[in-house]
Amino acid sequence: MKTLKRFWLLYLSNVRVTTRVRVVLFFTILFPLMFIGIFGIAFQTGDPSNTTIDLAVVNHDQGIPDDGNVYRNITGDIVSGDFYSREYLDLLGSVTFEDNETKIFDITIFDDEESAMKRVEKRDYGALLVLPENFTTAAMASRRALFEGIIPLDWTIYPPANFTTQLTVRGDSTLVQFTISYSVIDAVTQGFFTLDMVDEIGGSVYLDGGITSSGLTVFDFTVPGLVIFAILSNLSTVTVTALRDMKDGQFDRLKLTKMRVSEYLLAIVVSQLTISVVQIPLMFAGAIIFGFPISTRILYAFIFGILVSLSVTGIGILLAAFVSSTEAASALSGIVSTPMAFLAGAFFTMPNPTLIPEGSILGSHKLGIFDLIPARPAITALRVVLLTDQGMAGVWYEFWLTTVLVIFYMIIGIFLFSRKHLRAK
């Protein structure tokens, strides 16, 4: 009970000290909100959807099974060849942006995935869509599911109604073109296989939660980065807080009480988390004013926001191990946090040189040098969960990568900080 009270008061003191300093309040709350405002005004109406996205496609579809059966479409006509994937690609190629006649995709067919991916990596194409061998089989199964018992055909020769397949969209998920490609393809595919929204495709493609993918703006794409940027801007506060008590003798004074060092450090961590937890809804509230779509998926932002906040605390403590004055701490954290925000892709996508290539120890994932900045996978994940309907299922790799980085920076930070400042002199 006494430990809890001590921790509570240490925590409360940290929060009070931070929030009662106007300049700190400005940099933690108002400054990031200003960015929301600036980006909101600049890009809210600057719809990237006016620009057609180059989409690479590799089509492995084997078409109608050559099994001696005669298959017909729902109008009774005999079908053959790779009819369904061709129809699907025609549909995809005809989809236009919501407010104009500009086509979303300019499709280029490639023979193999490797050469297509090279062009995607060079950013000649926004994404690569891979259609599986059984695409048509799956389409036929979906027709059976939809029309068996309604349209008189010999449905028994068709693939079973529960037959499913998977399309793959590959590319750099930190790019706005990829995010748009993914969400449009996802919606078109859903519409194609269920036929329930065919009429609407081309005008407006709906995703879960009523978000209109064709309405995605650069601002929408930037918001996840700005939210994480707000949390990154706490780096200076953490570094200065950690060092201040060492330098002005406050920690020495506290050390003579029954306070444990672990309680002291935990109070710093939790007080920073609190500030981040306040920043996240404020940032989204600001973003919503500028047209960011309201969605329950914003709750995911808390998961990644908390992870980034923990990593910022770890990095802040780490930086405090290398400086001896609060002035130096403030300067160093500024030097680190600003490039970190840019390299993490908070404002726009940066090239990310490969450290561990795809297909090696990380399986289908690759690790870039800048992925070692915890904010980067967090921003990527936030873009996916907020702007597509993948949910957490699509970002587990980013979640675990961010978590591992949080643990790494925390351990290294506390170790070096303890060695420099907490050892008996």
Binding site for other proteins (CB under 8 A): 2, 5-6, 8-10, 13, 16-17, 20-21, 248-250, 252-259, 424-425
Length of the chain: 425
* Start-to-end CA span in the chain (Å): 32
Continuous H helices in 196-260: 218-232, 235-247, 250-255
CA-nearest of 151, 271, 288, 178 to 227 is 288
Give the DSSP H/E element, type plus range, for residue 59: strand 53-59
**Minimum separation from the CB atom of position 275 to other proteins (A):** 15
CB-nearer residue toward other proteins: 18 or 380? 18
**Minimum separation from the CB atom of position 352 to other proteins (A):** 41
CB-nearer residue toward other proteins: 261 or 355? 261
CA distances, 151 to each of 136, 144, 148, 193, 205 (Å):
19, 9, 6, 17, 28
CA distances, 328 to each of 247, 250, 281 (Å):
12, 18, 32
DSSP class per residue in 234-246: THHHHHHHHHHHH
CB-nearer residue toward other proteins: 5 or 122? 5
CB-nearer residue toward other proteins: 10 or 378? 10
The tokens describing 180, both together, are 């748009």
**Minimum separation from the CB atom of position 422 to other proteins (A):** 13
**Minimum separation from the CB atom of position 211 to other proteins (A):** 43
Instruction: Give the DSSP letter of residue 385.
Output: H
**Minimum separation from the CB atom of position 424 to other proteins (A):** 5
CB-nearer residue toward other proteins: 109 or 261? 261
Can you point out the beta strands (E) in 111-147?
127-131
CB-nearer residue toward other proteins: 6 or 170? 6
**Minimum separation from the CB atom of position 263 to other proteins (A):** 9
Report yes or no: 408 and 401 within 8 Å, Cβ to Cβ: no
**Minimum separation from the CB atom of position 191 to other proteins (A):** 58
DSSP class per residue in 255-305: HTTT--HHHHHHHHHHHHHHHHHHHHHHHHHHHHHTTPPP-GGGHHHHHHH
CB-nearer residue toward other proteins: 173 or 241? 241
CB-nearer residue toward other proteins: 19 or 165? 19
**Minimum separation from the CB atom of position 417 to other proteins (A):** 18
Instruction: Give the DSSP letter of residue 421.
Output: I
The tokens describing 152, both together, are 């008189």
